[in-house]
């Protein structure tokens, strides 16, 4: 087991990883930008290194600075959290070349699975159903030809990255040229890769994902499914597990398919297979996330399995300590993402409490929320034995959560959770 780990991230996920390391007796090293000098993860870590100015490109995306901090501190491994370099194959390879363990899949696995087109081909070969569509498009003319084959309406999607960027719904052929150019430009700006492809538009649809853990000995388990359908601007805002739209019978059919597909890819670490489910209950594979996800917390609350600790153990070569049959998927867990709507300084914060109520955050009184990074400032997670009670518990917890000094989306979350449609 590692004795010291560097966390190559910030915010609530850096705090989360530091807590897991503490419980495992592992020393921690934080890295931070000049804008994050006074944040919670810096105060909690055993050591901390400033790696550059506020700009992510000069700090949290600066591979050389992060690797140097790890080597100087004597860390044996780097946990990338999520975002930033968490799915960067070059960073994983740089860790390997410097005798540092990257807590996640290998660079080779990332290269095979991070590109959505490649991942779809691998999953199709592994037996998973794929959304009808086409490969990477190279011109408007090619897009027009492929669009007639796929049929309208269709979706244009970026081959790299995520977060809802580079996505365009095209209802009719006369919209395609403008949508194609816009999608390519947005993808290139966001990910440095303007590659896009198209898929058949599935509507109505639910966004369902399956969480897996895979060790280096070839053992793979699926920790159930999550429903991520509630989104704003194609970005997840509320997740729950299990999905209320998936029957137990369907779930028990999907889990072995997911496990078998992951085994065939040779993947190791924590990963998530994302699907669209149509109105008839048919599943279509979209992409695989090769990292810890924001919403891993609902899976932890549902199963009682600490995913961060298991990420670390797997990276250290330790086999999974449980089997698929031992995973309990009873009850209901819900997460609401709490986002800052504008920068500012937190003047007061009150966190909700009670049994099975959890609030993951980096906020304390006086925290400066800057405009440089993702607006996520916290995640409110609850668990109950039934969905009906879970919804009531989440509503109560949201009403108890108070953050003053910055505007947040708490009121929006209260409206969603209390709506008849969500209930």
Encode 177-210 in three state secondary structure: HHHHHHHHHHHHHHHCCCCEEEEECCCCEEEEEE
Are residues 95 and 79 part of one domain? yes
Question: Which H or E run contains 145?
Answer: helix 140-150
In a domain, 347, yes or no: yes
Is 75 a residue whose pLDDT tops 80? Answer: yes
Residue 163 has pLDDT above 70, yes or no: no
Instruction: Tell whether 119 is covered by a domain.
Output: no
Residue 188, pLDDT score: 86
Question: Is 32 part of a structural domain of the chain?
Answer: yes
Could you tell me what percentage of the chain is helix, strand and coil, using 3-state DSSP and rounding each to the nearest 5?
35, 30, 35
Residue 9, domain CATH:
3.40.50.20
Same domain (yes/no): 152, 65: no
What was the pLDDT predicted at 192? 80
Do 226 and 85 fall within a single domain? no
Mean pLDDT of 37-53: 98
Of the candidates 72, 104, 84, the one whose C-alpha atom is nearest the C-alpha of residue 8 is: 84
| Count of beta carbons in the 10 Å neighbourhood of residue 377 | 23
Backbone angles phi, psi at 157, to 5 degrees: -140, 145
Q: Which of 80-94, 176-190, 369-383 has the lowest average pLDDT?
A: 176-190
Both 261 and 277 in a single domain?
A: yes
Q: Do 33 and 95 belong together in one domain?
A: yes
pLDDT digits (tens, 9 = 90+) for 235-265: 999 999 999 999 999 999 999 999 999 999 9
For residue 332, tell me if it sits in a domain: yes
- Residue 116: inside a domain, yes or no? no
pLDDT mean over 353-377: 97
| pLDDT at residue 159 in the model | 83
Average pLDDT (36-56) is 98
| Domains of the chain: total | 3
Is the pLDDT at 210 greater than 90? The verdict is yes
83: which DSSP letter? S
Residue 114 belongs to some domain of the structure: no
Whether 279 and 193 map to the same domain: the answer is no
On whether the CB atoms of residues 128 and 259 are closer than 8 A, the answer is no
For residues 24 and 44, is the Cβ–Cβ distance under 8 A?
A: no
> Same structural domain for residues 333 and 239?
yes
Q: Are residues 318 and 227 in the same domain?
A: yes
Distances in whole angstroms, Cα of residue 237 to Cα of each of 56, 229, 231, 392, 407: 23, 9, 5, 18, 16
Structural domain span for residue 95: 4-103
Percentage, residues of the chain above pLDDT 90: 90
Residues 161 and 297 reside in one and the same domain: no
Q: Which residues are catalytic?
A: 291
Helix (H, G, I), strand (E, B) or coil at 383: strand
Indicate the DSSP class of residue 56.
G
Q: Around Cβ 282, how many Cβ atoms within 10 Å?
A: 13
Predicted confidence at residue 340, as pLDDT, reads: 98
- Which of 200, 233, 254 terminates a domain? The answer is 200
Give the integer Cα–Cα distance in Å for 281 and 294: 26
Where residue 164 falls among pLDDT bands split at 50, 70, 90? confident
Q: Which residues pair with 339 in a beta bridge?
A: 376
Q: Residue 367's domain is classified under what CATH number?
A: 3.30.470.20
Are residues 195 and 301 located together in one domain of the fold?
Answer: no
């Amino acid at each position: 087991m590692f004795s010291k780990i560097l966390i190559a991230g910030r915010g609530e996920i850096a705090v989360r990883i530091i807590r897991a390391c503490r419980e495992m007796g592992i020393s921690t090293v934080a890295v931070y930008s000049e804008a994050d000098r006074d944040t919670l993860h810096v105060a909690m870590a055993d050591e901390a290194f400033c790696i550059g100015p506020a700009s992510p490109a000069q700090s949290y995306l600066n591979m050389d600075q992060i690797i140097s901090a790890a080597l100087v501190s004597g860390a044996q491994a780097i946990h990338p959290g999520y975002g930033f370099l968490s799915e960067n194959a070059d960073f994983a390879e740089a860790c390997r070349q410097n005798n540092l363990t990257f807590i996640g899949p290998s660079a080779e696995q990332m290269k095979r699975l991070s590109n959505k087109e490649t991942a779809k081909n691998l999953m199709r070969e592994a037996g998973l159903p794929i959304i009808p569509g086409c490969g990477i498009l190279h011109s408007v003319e090619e897009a027009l030809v492929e669009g007639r084959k796929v049929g309208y309406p269709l979706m244009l999607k970026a081959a790299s990255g995520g977060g809802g960027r580079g996505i365009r719904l095209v209802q009719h052929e006369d919209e395609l040229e403008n949508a194609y150019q816009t999608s390519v430009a947005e993808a290139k700006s966001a990910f440095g890769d303007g590659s896009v492809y198209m898929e058949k538009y599935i509507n109505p649809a639910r966004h369902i994902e399956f969480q897996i853990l895979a060790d280096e000995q070839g053992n793979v388990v699926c920790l159930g499914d999550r429903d991520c359908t509630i989104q704003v601007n194609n970005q997840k805002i509320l997740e729950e597990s299990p999905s209320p739209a998936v029957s137990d019978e369907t779930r028990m059919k999907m889990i072995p398919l997911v496990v078998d597909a992951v085994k065939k890819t040779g993947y190791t670490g924590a990963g998530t297979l994302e699907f669209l489910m149509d109105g008839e209950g048919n599943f279509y594979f979209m992409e695989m996330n090769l990292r810890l996800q924001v919403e891993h917390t609902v899976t932890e609350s549902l199963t009682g399995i600490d995913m961060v600790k298991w990420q670390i153990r797997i990276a250290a070569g330790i086999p999974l300590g449980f089997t698929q049959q031992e995973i309990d998927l009873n009850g209901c867990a819900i997460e609401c993402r709490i986002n800052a709507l504008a920068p500012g300084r937190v003047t007061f914060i009150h966190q909700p409490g009670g049994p099975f109520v959890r609030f993951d955050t980096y906020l304390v009184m006086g925290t400066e929320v800057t405009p440089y990074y993702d607006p996520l400032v916290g995640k409110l997670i609850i668990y109950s034995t039934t969905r009906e009670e879970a919804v009531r518990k989440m509503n109560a917890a949201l009403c108890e959560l108070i953050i003053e000094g910055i505007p947040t989306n708490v009121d929006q979350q209260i409206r969603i959770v209390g709506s008849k449609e969500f209930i």
